[in-house]
Structure 1
Amino acid sequence: MKIRKQDALNYHTQGQPGKIEVVPTKMLSTQLDLALAYSPGVAEPCKEIAANKDDVYKYTSKGNLVAVISNGTAVLGLGNIGPEASKPVMEGKAVLFKKYAGIDSFDIEIDEEDPDAFIKIVKALEPTFGGVNLEDIKAPECFKIETELREKMHIPIMHDDQHGTAIISSAALLNALEIVGKKIDEIVLVVNGAGAAAVSCSRLYLALGLKRENLIMCDSKGVINATRTNLDATKAEFITTRKLNTLQEAMKGCDVFVGLSVADAITPEDVLNMAKDPIVFALANPNPEIDYNLAKKTRTDLIMGTGRSDHPNQVNNVLGFPYIFRGALDVRATEINEAMKLAAVHALADLAKESVPDIVFQAYGIDRIQFGREYLIPKPLDPRLITTVSPAVAKAAMDSGIARNPITDWGQYHQDLLKRVGIDQKLTSRIIERAKQNPKQIVFAEADHPKILKAAQILQDEKI
């Protein structure tokens, strides 16, 4: 879908600027309502929480509130643009939390690049939030920040740029390997890029069974091998003993390529040099490491995924973070651990193998989707994601002993999850789906009016 600059600017300025607002959850129509919401009635829950801190989850919104926190040092595709310029992205992330998982979210942009100072600021926010989503923080500082915050805080924390991509690409990898009949402990996998996402992807692939000697990581200077000097501790973790120096050498005979780097990093020749039934996840945005159509033309036996929505197998973090935090919040997990991430991986991989409901076909304007080379992972608009991934994550938290509020009635929990996304959302979606299902010829009058022209353009773009 083509995005026009002016459309994007208008979207953010029309009506009330920005994308989020605060809406009260209680009635405020009478004097009694006001007295209960604030002074003097508010003193009663305050006293209860003072006596038992856990009651903050009972009397406030903390249990359904996530902070999206960034310093704007590594905004995807834009680089270090600063905290103010990152705010539209963080607001967007907050909107996705609400849309897909019913989680309330505040974006917090911090004007601080020193990791120790940043950690201190975020740690001080723990009384307010039920979870923290770290976003767009540059490497290597992001590793220190997340690690120390997880050690010091007792609420779910996740740097989505690292773990979101790792979880979604891992689900796609497991299913791609199943389709081509290969085992993860037998393949050779090349990762191009050594930033936050690349490191987390590599660690999760290893946790899934990839052998360390079969993992080759490259950065802008080539293969990370034993001859390299001045490597930081994170890169040193992935030194290979193979006698390889360049990305092109590493590509020869490898089974899987995962790109988390820059556009056009590999060529058709590199793809031709890969093993039979190669798997290429070219995840650089907005332009992948190799053009999708060029790669598919080069190898007919290729399975490919990108970060783009206009090609099959989009590795999109929205498949993960809303539902991972939903499950973590609902059991009041003290962290998001490896077991919970792996549970999300397997839940996503398994869901892709199930029969796809008609509502997904209608949402994407297609006649048929089924598990295969062009459908490795679920579509972002699949309504089953919240009732599949969130329970898997919640159960993993319970099984690993970090859930402070275990779920006892899973049937009721399923219904609660459906309510989280809202009945009004279902009604709106149903109306749009019906319109797409049975298109009508529409005549617009006043074709010289900008709003009428815009309406016609939207209907055409949305295929309504």
Structure 2
Amino acid sequence: MFHDDQHGTAIVTVAGLENALKIVGKGYGDLRVVVAGVGAAGVAVSKMLLNAGVKNLIGVDRHGAVHTGREDLNSSKRWFAENTNPELLAGTITEVIAGADVFLGLAGPDLLTVEDVQSMASDPIVFAMANPDPEIRPELIKDIAAVIATGRSDFPNQINNVLAFPGIFRGALDAKATKITENMKLAAARAIADVVGEDLHQQFIVPTAFDPRVAPAVAEAVRLAAIEDGACR
């Protein structure tokens, strides 16, 4: 099932992360990623990242890290536990974020402290996307994090799900696709990232919502991915 908001957020998050990784010179397979919030958006982002090649991803909900030893998981979180957190880490965000390369916040305000970010790996990437109040204020970590993104338009690097639309649906329609696959979503993310091109820098990892190049680029990438996946009528 494709839910517009959550999957749109996931696509644009991965687009931003694609470009953030170019800045810090890291690859998906080398990352340790902590995702705060294991609801629909958090699960959608995590599935895309696993598909992209992330091997070490830890999700954290209000009860701490999600792992297979917990008895309080619903079916969605049980799937999540079985497919993430290979080291079976337990505990709070503060306990699991030490040494992490990437923090993705899809939860609520003020979950992260300056000390948490200081404990991350070198050149940490922090996407604090809770709206209107992020998991940590960008100005508190501007001298610590290599790349920062939020869900807000008054800071650089807004992760705005509107960037995914209408391109992903245009591409699916053009291909006469019967479903939207993980590969199609990843193709959309990479198309959004590519629009930034040579203008890439720490304060500009995703295009603006008004960039006219985005929708056509996404549509064409999604169309080709649908054909590659055999997802067409």
For the aligned pair, the TM-score class normalised by the smaller chain equals: over 0.9
Q: Which residue of 2 aligns with 1:311?
A: 155
* Partner deviation per Cα, 1:310-364 (whole Å, 9 max, x = no partner): 111111001002110111122322121222111101111211114xxxxxxxxxx
Q: Conserved in 1, the CA contact under 8 Å of 2:24 and 2:146?
A: no
Bigger relative contact order, structure 1 or 2, given CA contacts below 8 A and separation 6+?
A: 2
Q: How much has 1:302 moved relative to structure 2?
A: 2.6
Does the 8 Å CA contact 1:225/1:245 hold for their aligned counterparts? no
- Cα deviation for residue 382 of structure 1 reads 0.7
Q: Which residue number corresponds to residue 6 of structure 1? A: none
Q: Is residue 2:229 matched to residue 1:400?
A: yes
Q: SS of the residue aligned with 1:185?
A: helix
Give yes or no for contact 1:347–1:388 (8 Å, CA) kept in 2. Answer: yes
- 1:288 Cα offset (Å): 0.6
Are the aligned partners of 2:165 and 2:215 in contact in 1 as well (CA < 8 Å)? no
Q: Are 1:207 and 2:36 an aligned pair?
A: no
Look up the SS of the partner of 2:59 in the other structure. Answer: strand
Per the TM alignment, residue 395 of structure 1 is displaced from its structure 2 partner at its CA by 1.6
1:184 to 2:13 alignment: no
Q: Deviations over 1:393-440 (max 9, x none)?
A: 112222222334xxxxxxxxxxxxxxxxxxxxxxxxxxxxxxxxxxxx
The equivalent position to 1:229 in structure 2, one of 62, 71, 81, is: 71
Supply the distance in 1 between the matched residues of 2:170 and 2:90 (Cα, whole angstroms): 43
SS in 1 for 2:212: coil
Once residues 231 and 47 of structure 2 are traced to their aligned partners in structure 1, the CA distance between those partners, rounded to angstroms, is 22
8 Å contact kept, 1:255–1:275: yes
Q: Which residue of 2 aligns with 1:168?
A: 12
1:259 paired to 2:101: no
Partner residue in 2 for 1:294: 140
Q: 1:346 aligned to 2:175?
A: no
Q: Does 1:380 align with 2:222?
A: no
Q: Supply the distance in 1 between the matched residues of 2:216 and 2:166 (Cα, whole angstroms).
A: 12
Once the two structures are TM-superposed, the CA of residue 233 in structure 1 deviates from its matched residue by: 1.9
Contact 1:255 1:276 in 2 (8 A): yes
CA distance in 2, matches of 1:180, 1:319: 23
Identity of aligned residues (%): 49
1:58-117 CA deviation, whole Å, 9 max, x = no partner?
xxxxxxxxxxxxxxxxxxxxxxxxxxxxxxxxxxxxxxxxxxxxxxxxxxxxxxxxxxxx
Partner Cα separation in structure 2 for residue 232 and residue 184 of structure 1:
28
> Does the 8 Å contact 1:176/1:373 carry over to 2?
yes
Structure 1: how far apart are the matches of 2:68 and 2:187?
A: 34
Letter in 1 for 2:203: E
One of 230, 236, 244 as aligned partner of 2:90: 244
Gaps of 5+ in 1: 1-145, 147-157, 355-369, 405-464
Cα contact 1:161–1:196 (8 A) shared by 2: no
Aligned position for 1:276: 122
Task: Give distance in 2, aligned partners of 1:325 and 1:182.
Answer: 31
- Cα distance change on mapping 1:393 and 1:248 into 2, 3 Å: same
Give the counterpart letter for 2:200 in structure 1. F
For 2:120 and 2:109, locate their aligned partners in 1 and report how far apart those are by CA, in whole Å.
19
Indicate conservation of the 8 Å contact 1:307/1:316, yes or no.
Answer: yes
Matched position secondary structure for 1:324 = helix
With the length of structure 1 as denominator, give the TM-score of the two structures.
0.48
TM-score (norm 2): 0.93
Tell me which amino acid in the other structure corresponds to 1:401: G
CA distance in 1 between counterparts of 2:63 and 2:96 reads 13
User: Residue 35 of structure 2: SS of its match in structure 1?
Assistant: strand
Structure 2 letter corresponding to 1:279? I
Give ranges in structure 2 of 5+ residues lacking alignment.
Answer: none
* Match in the other structure for 1:323: 167
Q: What is the rounded CA distance, in whole Å, between the counterparts of 2:70 and 2:232 in structure 1?
A: 43
Distance 1:281 1:314 in 2: 9
Mapping of residues 26-175 of structure 1, within 5 Å: 146=1, 158-175=2-19
**Residue-by-residue CA offset, 1:359-398 (whole Å, 9 max, x unaligned):** xxxxxxxxxxx21111111111111112211111112222
Larger Rg: 1
Q: 1: distance between equivalents of 2:230 and 2:80?
A: 31
Q: 1:335 to 1:294 in 2, by over 3 A?
A: same
CA contact (8 A) 2:164 2:215 kept: no
* In 1, Cα distance between equivalents of 2:231 and 2:67: 38
Q: 2-side partners of 1:339 and 1:225: how far apart?
A: 26
